Structure formats: structure tokens, C-alpha cells
Structure 1
Amino acid sequence: MTEAGASGGAPGCDGHWQELSRTTVYEKYGRSVVEVRYRLPSGSVDTFSVREDRPSVGVLALTHDDQILLTRQFRPGPRQFVYELPGGYVDDEETPLDAAQRELLEETGYQGDTEVVGRCFGDSYSSAVKFCAIARNCTLRQPPQPEDTEFIEVLSVRPQQLRGLLRVGDVTDVDLAYLGLDFLGML
């Protein structure tokens, strides 16, 4: 399989995408929307809205008895309570591993043997990279210390319960959860 560069198009595509301009139309809380004009391989020009977010990480965290730690909180996008893997943004001075360890401890109070095992894009109209980390043998070290805007309930579920939640659609980190479960051979 051949990897395609940003200007090379998809494998088997001889066309070239030329960026003509880039204008930020919204920016707040580390997120922005950028209008990007491209000359397409056909020669025509079109504008695309691209979401630019910082890199983020989600942690599939397992306790010593293979319970998976989840958080549950209200999220404004879906306008409901959803289940999530502990996680958040990777700060400028951090590696994805550092952010995974920090977010797991802040949101759940747990620590474990942590490693980054994969990554994916937020979606095809986002520049954000999402990292998947796993943490094994997690133990409670302190009370959770969420940010002022986070009201988090920490839960533990069996792997089959997580797979059920993923199928129902009440989990925001479906891609990262499946990457972690696959890496651990738990699918």
C-alpha cells in the first residue's frame, strides 16, 4: 500500500491539490474553523471548512481485574450524558504519553502502566490527530481532580459491557476504544 502525501492525492490519483488561501473564521478554546480554498485536480476551485483542533488522547484503562475505566458526563455537542474514555488535549509541552498519564490521573484518580498504541484523524474535515493509549494494572492513587468545567462520574465496566455501549452509540471515543480493544486482543 502506498502512502499519499497532502498534495499527492489518494493512491492512484495523479491529480494535485493546490492550496490557494486559508482564512480563520472562528477560534475559541483551542479550536478553530478555517476556510481553505483549493485548486482541485480538475482545475476548478472550491472552498472547504476544516476544523483545526489540538492533538488529543483517549486512554483505555484497565484495572488489575480487567475492569475498564470510563467517564460519564454531559456534553454540549450531543446534548446528553455520554460515556468516554478518560482523556483530553495534548498540551504544547507534552507528549501524547504524558497527556494520557495526566488525563487519566486527573479525571479518574487512577494510574497504571501506560503506552500509546495507535492514532487516527478526528474526521476527514479535521486536522486533529487522536492518540489511543492503554493503561494496564490501574490502581486508585488519589481522588479525581477534574477541571472546573468538568463534572465527571467515574465508572468501571467489563470489556463486554464496553462493547455493548459502543454498539448502542452512547460513547464518544468509539474509534479509540476499538483501537485499544483490538491492541489488547479483547474484540
Structure 2
Amino acid sequence: VKLPDGRETEREIVEHPGAVVILALTDDGKLVMIRQFREPVNEVLWELPAGTVEEGEDLVRCAKRELEEETGYYPRKIKKLLSFFSTPGFCNERLTLFLAEDLEERSKNEDADEFIQVKNLKISEVLKMIKGNVIKDAKTIIGILYLVSSIEYTVYSEERRS
């Protein structure tokens, strides 16, 4: 790798095709969350539904596919929110965050190596889980904090519903 000052050094870089992360909101304003075991950290983690983009696959199509595979929900409405790098120090993975709404319940079709539990949680509960270090997954924390800091969240604000 050639550094900005012209020197050269050796670095290991992981090439990644990219992935999608989905903020799926139910009609009653709950966030669709999943729990799954992650071997590299040897823990069951709370996460937003997400998955790797297949070769030549459109990002919107990928987000719809991953949401349905992991949760059984199919979004009739989906919107791209932002893209970010997961670990730019050694990997080129770009994650694209989507907001999925108007969810249709279908059957879950997870991959053979996935063991996923699905739970719909109030946004206030999810924020407490972040603050209490129950949610430890970076893409999930980024997505949820983006949601609550954005205009999209005002529609689902539990305080405004009271």
C-alpha cells in the first residue's frame, strides 16, 4: 500500500461486496429486531436485519430479500437513508441503510446456517438496550441512532402518540 507521503507499507485488506441494513418499522411503530449467534465474538447479538449484496444485485432488491429471509416481513415501501463503511481500517465493506415500512407478513426463509429469533420492540426499549450495552453491534447502533435523530422518527415518536 502506498501511503499519502509516498512511503510504502504492507497491509491486509479484506475485500467485501457490500451489505444492506434494514430499519423495518411495523404499522404500530415498533422496530423489527433479530437475535443471532455470531461465531467471531462467540455471542448471541441483537441486530437489525442485514445481509451481503450478491454479485450484480440491486441494493433495494437485496434489502427486500434479506428482510424477508431473516424476518418473514416484506416491505411494500422502502427508502435508502445512507451508506457508511463498517471497518475502513482493514475492510472496504460499504453498508447501505434502508427504512422499510408497510410490512407484509410472509414466511421466514433464513439461510441454512442462520438461527434467527425475531422480535418487534418499541424504539424506547431499543434505546435503553443501546444505553445498557445490550446491543453491541455497530451497524445496529448506527442505524437506530440515525433513525431517532432524523425526521423519519418523528412519525413514530411514542411521546407524540400519548
Letter in 2 for 1:176: G
| Alignment partner, residue 7 of structure 1 | none
Specify every segment of 5 or more residues in structure 1 that has no aligned partner in the other structure, as ranges.
Answer: 1-36
Once the two structures are TM-superposed, the CA of residue 171 in structure 1 deviates from its matched residue by 3.8
- Give the conservation status (yes or no) of the 8 Å contact 1:63–1:139: no
Deviates more, 1:44-53 or 1:112-121: 44-53
- SS of residue in 2 equivalent to 1:101: helix
Task: Confirm whether residue 135 of structure 1 aligns to residue 135 of structure 2.
Answer: no
Question: Does structure 1 conserve the Cα–Cα contact (< 8 Å) formed by 2:46 and 2:134?
Answer: no
* Structure-2 separation of matches of 1:51 and 1:71: 26
Q: Per the alignment, in what secondary structure is the counterpart of residue 180 of structure 1?
A: helix
Aligned to 2:147: 180
| Aligned equivalent of 1:74 | 37
User: What's the TM-score, normalizing by structure 2?
Assistant: 0.83
Whose radius of gyration is greater, 1 or 2? 1
Q: Are 2:56 and 1:89 equivalent residues in the alignment?
A: no
Alpha-carbon distance, 1:49 to partner: 1.9
Mapping for residues 161-172 of structure 1, pairs under 5 Å:
161-167=125-131, 168-172=133-137
Cα offset, 1:150, TM superposition: 0.2
User: What is the 5 A alignment of 1:49-60?
Assistant: 49-60=12-23
Contact 1:69 1:155 (8 Å CA) reproduced:
yes
| Deviation at residue 169 of structure 1 after TM alignment | 4.8
- Counterpart residue identity of residue 128, structure 1: E
Any idea what the Cα deviations from partners look like across 1:9-57, whole Å, max 9, x if unmatched? xxxxxxxxxxxxxxxxxxxxxxxxxxxx22x333432222222211100
Q: Deviations over 1:46-76 (max 9, x none)?
A: 2222222111001000000001001101101
Q: What is the percent sequence identity of the aligned residues?
A: 23
Higher normalized helix content (fraction of residues)? 2
Distance 2:6 2:110 in 1: 50
What amino acid maps onto 2:69 in structure 1? E
Aligned counterpart for 2:116 among listed residues 128, 147, 152? 152
Q: What is the Cα deviation at residue 162 of structure 1?
A: 1.3
The answer to whether 1:117 aligns with 2:81 is yes
Change (3 A) 1:143 1:176: same
TM-score by length of 1: 0.73
Q: Distance in 1 between matches of 2:4 and 2:94?
A: 26
Query: Tell me, which stretches of 5 or more residues in structure 2 are unaligned?
Result: 158-162
C-alpha RMSD of the superposition: 1.8
